């Protein structure tokens, strides 16, 4: 990291690094938890592969809220809206910001450089608002449909799988020359990605059987899809692209689980 990067990076710290500090740094960086443990982006990025397991904790909090609201007999649709709102809020709106920015960039015609400049400006346009609305309403609709069936573990699984989407995007993307996103992309390797998949598939299966495992696969698919879109439009993946992959990963995780749940009910003429 250059001296210029250190001045821009609020998470830089001269303290000695460790895996525990890197994990705590990721929690501080990507959630609103008042842990206040800061470390450099490079040190945090070393544990990118572990991010989905960290996100399992966030999903657990959301699951507790969902169970509590269900005990109070809140309507399932209201629970779905509250859970989705909690998840994007608890993550500090970091990934949602990336989704909105990439929505604006995808509306632009021109070179990848022009699209990236739009993605990085501070303005919010129609494309960003529209993409947020589409992803948000579909996420709530899928979650509502799954909760109506009674599969409440989907709350935890979809949030863990959101980060599987981010990791999937990171392993299949090309980093840029600047921005914090490049550290997370460069840190990912095939062995680390395989480790992430094995652990998250095990967690998904533990909480939801085959349905939960397919939720993890859906998250990975969503991240790979955003990586493909990023390559086509920007040639590289920025931090915003990684953020968008988180939101799309959650969406596709819920979609895949819903498909598996409904599969036995599908009738062909």
Cβ–Cβ < 8 Å for 216, 124: no
Structure tokens at 190: 């095939």
What count of Cα atoms within 13 Å lies in the side-chain half-sphere of residue 63? 18
Tens of pLDDT along 71-90? 999 999 999 999 999 999 99
Residue 3 lies in a domain: no
Average pLDDT over residues 24-50: 80
Tell me which of 63-77, 118-132, 156-170, 217-231 is least confident: 118-132
Residue 20 lies in a domain: no
**Nearest Cα residue to 145 out of 70, 66, 257, 264:** 257
Residue 31 lies in a domain: no
Calculated CA dihedral for residues 34, 35, 36, 41, nearest 10 degrees: -120
Strand partners, 175: 237
Tens of pLDDT along 226-258? 999 999 999 988 889 999 999 999 999 999 999
- The pLDDT score that the predictor gives to residue 13 is 44
Structure tokens at 81: 């809206």
Q: Is the pLDDT of residue 266 over 80?
A: no
Residue 14 lies in a domain: no
Q: Rounded to whole angstroms, how far apart are CA atoms 103 and 65?
A: 30
Residue 16 lies in a domain: no
- The pLDDT score that the predictor gives to residue 53 is 93
- The pLDDT score that the predictor gives to residue 32 is 85
pTM above 0.85, yes or no: yes
Q: Is the pLDDT of residue 219 over 50?
A: yes
- pLDDT tier at 146, thresholds 50, 70, 90: very high
Residue 2 lies in a domain: no
Residue 86 lies in a domain: yes
Q: What crossing angle do the helices spanning 154-171 and 51-71 adopt, rounded to 10°?
A: 160
Residues 6+ apart with CB under 8 A from 215: 154, 157, 158, 161, 204, 208, 253, 254, 256, 257
Residue 68 belongs to domain spanning: 49-262
What count of Cα atoms within 13 Å lies in the side-chain half-sphere of residue 165? 31
**Nearest Cα residue to 232 out of 134, 99, 105, 138:** 105
Residue 151 lies in a domain: yes
Number of domains in the chain: 1
- The pLDDT score that the predictor gives to residue 198 is 97
- The pLDDT score that the predictor gives to residue 9 is 46
Supply φ then ψ for residue 35, to 5 degrees.
Answer: -80, -40
């Amino acid at each position: 990291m250059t001296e210029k990067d250190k001045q821009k990076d609020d998470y830089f710290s001269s303290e000695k690094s460790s895996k525990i500090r890197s994990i705590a740094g990721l929690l501080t960086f990507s959630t609103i938890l008042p842990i206040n443990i800061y470390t450099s982006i490079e040190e945090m990025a070393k544990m990118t592969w572990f991010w989905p397991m960290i996100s399992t904790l966030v999903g657990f909090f959301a699951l507790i809220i969902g169970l509590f609201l269900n005990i109070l007999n809140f309507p399932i649709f209201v629970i779905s809206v509250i859970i989705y709102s909690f998840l994007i809020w608890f993550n500090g709106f970091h990934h949602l910001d990336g989704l909105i920015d990439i929505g604006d960039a995808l509306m632009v015609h021109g070179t990848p450089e022009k699209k990236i400049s739009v993605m990085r400006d501070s303005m919010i346009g129609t494309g960003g608002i529209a993409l947020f609305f589409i992803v948000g309403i579909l996420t709530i609709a899928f979650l509502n449909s799954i909760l109506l069936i009674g599969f409440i573990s989907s709350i935890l699984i979809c949030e863990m799988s959101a980060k599987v989407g981010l990791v999937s995007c990171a392993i299949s993307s090309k980093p840029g020359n600047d921005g914090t996103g490049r550290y997370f992309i460069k840190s990912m390797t095939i062995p680390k990605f395989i480790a992430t998949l094995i652990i998250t598939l095990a967690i998904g299966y533990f909480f939801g059987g085959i349905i939960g495992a397919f939720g993890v696969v859906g998250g990975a698919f969503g991240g790979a899809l955003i990586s493909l879109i990023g390559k086509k439009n920007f040639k590289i993946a920025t931090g915003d692209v990684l953020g968008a992959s988180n939101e799309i990963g959650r969406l596709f995780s819920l979609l895949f689980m819903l498909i598996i749940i409904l599969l036995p009910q599908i009738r062909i003429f």
